[in-house]
Structure 1
């Protein structure tokens, strides 16, 4: 058992949070090169933290020792969302997962397919109509918002536009509170972002509770009938499911998909993905590998333990970095290159090594739903359009926090295909 390389510094003065949040990718790359290892220590959020940037380290952290490394109960996510499947630990988290799993599989998941296809068509059917370039990130964020509000709350922007706009605005205020300093201050003519977010949360909860009382159909109806621990549990989970976090993650992945398949040079890949659902699946895996929507996640050790042979003291934090893990050269040959074929070659059957949506027993419960979303939307784009950057030369550098996306929203020109076929006609690919 070895001592962690790097230094955790001293309280406050040794904190590296600002450097990390400015550029987490550069932060990790510099230290991996300096220390010659993909597990090292530093101080983040004023807490000694082990950074995990290898596939093996991630598997140990999130899978083999998931009961040792727990969610931080003081995390701001708990203040914003309350007790739910994301913030809970131990037996509570396991029971919630058992209760909620059926909402994201089988009959309930299948019941949302018509909605997913109709939203995809409504948002994407006129992309080439004006002949002008489209700013794709806000387009996909709107699409993601329509998907989650329609699926989880039965709110349709055509049927109840005012309610749709109200919830969207409240979710945005709530989101800004998550990424602000968690200080609740309210004085005449001014409130802190966190205070405003808590107020938005209260209004959202009123809307959600009303939906739970009145709705009998769809996801809300299924959720009502689940064996949950208390009356507030259903509403708190709906708050999590409709939050701005999910549309932003979808917008991130869809934007990356659009950019990497842009232009004449990627026409062969687009054509192959149109014709072969298996290959589309590999393309989407590679998008998630190279451009994970979330930089990673944080846990706290509840006892002395090890990661990758390094000693981790009790109460140390452990931060896994998806971007670095997905580029681990021990697992992914030519890790910086976009190679969908790797998933039917040397990395065949290794989808479980990705952690863009977590991994292990605490991975995102909506992984299957995310795959259905991506397949439907990307399938629609492929069946109806070719596209290219417009202008060709753009700043495509990414910002990675709080959700990854290009720093400057990219502009894309879409050209409608002469022969259209519906995305719903695509044969099923891998799950």
Structure 2
């Protein structure tokens, strides 16, 4: 019987300095054991199967060549040092349960890659689904809850394989690029303030001729730190673009769309992650086995609800009262901000390319709105359906249509790719 391993990944230390180790529960038959991984190195040891859980004293004549340096505990005074006597970690046949997304992405990717070599598998469950099935269980027992849930209801989990690792890599590279960009912008802002101060606070009275902007441009060219940060940002952008071009979702869906480059696509791909998690299964209850029309209608309903889930996630849905969602006092704004921002940037590119396919769709939506509202209206003291309002509404409606198109094509691509994987090597990809 394979071991079920539940992993509750946590950031190792809070802002207040409180230790938050990653919790691991291993269920093998009726035996349940709990472990804690205190740092990132411990997580890598677990991936390699060499996380020490017991130590013994070093024999004076013993060679330490076979032990990892960070596993050797130095002795103090007359007390001899210690070396590991027992290890735990990922083994052949293990099934690992984790939560989808969050801080555990990199750990899940490493476990998945190691699992390819030794015959172990990693499965992840969306946080919302896990919350529904946690029940009254203590959050401190999440690792054990995950392991038992994988054993009892494996259909709730998604297999983490090479395709999922590619998405995790995109997230990491996108974050690296954003960090590099923020560092470069911060350096530019500090340099500008230094230039302004040096221009105004000169004691010799020889103020520079020309504009401060010209002095700033010269200072930028002479700043070794800024030039290094700019080079780092360019390198991070190249790495991200290269990784995105290796994705079939780029080749088949985003690449052919005029105006959508690798960086814009990466923002939306990283936010959505696994599009399968938005799927709603058709409910055939109450239908006869031969009622094909009824089953077809239920499938259509399920597809519409699936699209609606993704639209709500991206913040391009409609509220129950028909309004478009935005941040309002007293209302919940539970969409993904990065996905919504990426969509806005994408439709802005459509607006700048009116001759493209999606640029034409945007113009068509705008024309329909102008025909429906030829004159501005004053509603509750606010002017609506003026040119600016129509343009903004058309942008967001185009974003909504784009998400509907994206879900259909992306989900179909995922199903086809996994069917091909199963045909080629029999891999399990649920």
TM-score (structure 2 length as normaliser)? 0.24
Q: Which has the higher contact order (CA 8 A, sep 6+)?
A: 1
Normalized per residue, which structure has more helix?
A: 2
TM-score (structure 1 length as normaliser)? 0.24
Work out which of the two has the higher radius of gyration on C-alpha atoms and give 1 or 2: 2
